[in-house]
Amino acid sequence: MENKDNIWDVIVRYLDNTMTGNDSDQLETWLNHSNENRRILHSVDQIWKASSEKSQENFLKELNLEKDWDRMSERIDLSDSGSRRSRIQKFRRLRKRQQIISNLLKVAALILVAFTSVFLTLQYAPVNEPQVYEPVFKEIFTKAGERANVDLGDGTKVFLNADSKLTVPDTFSPSQRVVQLSGQAFFDVTPDKNRPFYIETNNAVVEVVGTAFDVKSYDDDEKIRVVVQEGTVELKKDKYTGEKLIINQGYLGSLNRDAGEMSIEMVDDVSDYTGWKEGRLIFKNTPFEEVLAHIKRWYDVDVNLELSNDSLMEKEFTADLKTRSVADVFDVISMSMNIEYDINETKDTITVRNK
């Protein structure tokens, strides 16, 4: 209520049952302003009622308003009408001042009671601690040779590649959505401008409002790689740094873990980086060392190297292989890279040699 000075006069008239229609409107507006005002009126009303008859009567008697008036009237010389009128007017003014003082004392008493009530309420009322969002996290794993589809509950879909881990809360907070990734995953994020989506991964954070993109961040990868199929994402070294890389649709952004350098390039075909979802093994000018690491995760096999020339690991390999057996894949690699290989009887270990 804007006019706080008048409200106590209104409260007095409320307690005395002498309110006008305008008083009712003012009081209702004041009460609707806050629950604290309602508590104040309730406290004042309880105290007023508890001491209503005796206390108010004694309070007024102490002022002796009527008694003083009667006593002074009796002493007026009735024979002198002019003087009588003058004295009556004088005492009426005095009585009016006394009534004003009486009302002011009432208002002061009510204000004192109200502020005391507020102080006691704030001092001793139970304190409601602010609710702190404490999420319960769950981890979703895929072993080597496994892949998984994950629904995050907000409409966001995640396709998790082999040998990866996704850590998510049971329920996202009201202000943001945060997950942790180790490995590779394709995200199709449901837009929510009020709750940005963050992917925290090794040495980097990917921020997005709503889009579809692929994140690759294995522990043994030299670079963290983000390819955007639709929309726009931001790649940052951490959540709070000012340095960031904006990656639009059709672009690949990367962050070198050790050097901290970021780069971006346009890609000819986004599916070259996301085709793994359809069971495609896609390599494009990929060093042979990375090819073997990918095959180990994809097929859950070990690779033993018996090489006379280590330079083979730096040679690049390019191929787009549909889902095949590990033997079929190595048949293609052996012809392209000029190597020999053996697979053990249990088909979980492959030995690679120079020809």
Strand order in the sheet with 302-306: 302-306, 349-354, 339-343
Tokens for 34, please give them.
């806050």
Per-residue pLDDT at 65: 46
**What contacts 45, CB < 8 A, 6 or more positions away?**
15
Cα 9 to the center of its chain, rounded Å:
45
Output the pTM of the full model: 0.61
Task: Set out the domains of the chain in order of their start, with CATH numbers.
Answer: 4-124 (no CATH), 141-268 (2.60.120.1440), 279-354 (3.55.50.30)
Per-residue pLDDT at 216: 95
Query: What is the secondary structure of 275-318 as a DSSP string?
Result: GGGGT-EEEEEEEHHHHHHHHHHHHT-EEEEE-S-GGGGGSEEE
* Distances from the Cα of 113 to the Cα of 100, 122, 306, 339, angstroms: 20, 14, 92, 95
Per-residue pLDDT at 217: 94
8 Å CB contact between 204 and 237: yes
Residue 334, helix vs strand vs coil: helix
Per-residue pLDDT at 247: 94
Nearest to 321 by CA among 283, 293, 348: 283
Please list the rounded mean pLDDT of every run of 10 residues in the chain (355 residues): 64 77 80 76 68 50 49 48 54 54 59 57 53 74 93 94 94 91 96 92 87 94 94 86 86 91 94 93 91 92 87 89 86 90 90 88
Tell me, what amino acid is at 121?
A: T
Parallel, antiparallel or unpaired: strands 244-248 and 232-236: antiparallel
8 Å CB contact between 326 and 282: no
8 Å CB contact between 136 and 168: no
Per-residue pLDDT at 79: 44
Q: Where are the beta strands (DSSP E) in the chain?
A: 137-142, 148-151, 157-160, 164-169, 177-188, 197-201, 204-208, 212-217, 223-230, 232-236, 244-248, 251-256, 262-266, 281-287, 302-306, 316-321, 339-343, 349-354
Per-residue pLDDT at 150: 94
